[in-house]
Amino acid sequence: MESWSALVRTEPATDTMPDAWHSLLLTSTRVNARPGSDQIVAAMRKNNKPVQYYVFPDEGHGFARPTNNMAFNAATEEFLAKYLGGRFEPATTDESKLLTSIKQ
pLDDT at 10: 53
pTM of the entire predicted model: 0.76
Q: Tens digit of pLDDT for each residue in 21-80?
A: 788 888 887 776 666 788 888 888 888 889 999 999 888 877 889 999 999 999 999 999
Q: SS3 string of the chain?
A: CCCHHHHHHHCCHHHCCCCCCCCEEEEEECCCCCCCHHHHHHHHHHCCCCEEEEEECCCCCCCCCHHHHHHHHHHHHHHHHHHHCCCCCCCCHHHHHHHHHHEC
Q: Domains of the chain: which residue ranges?
A: 23-102
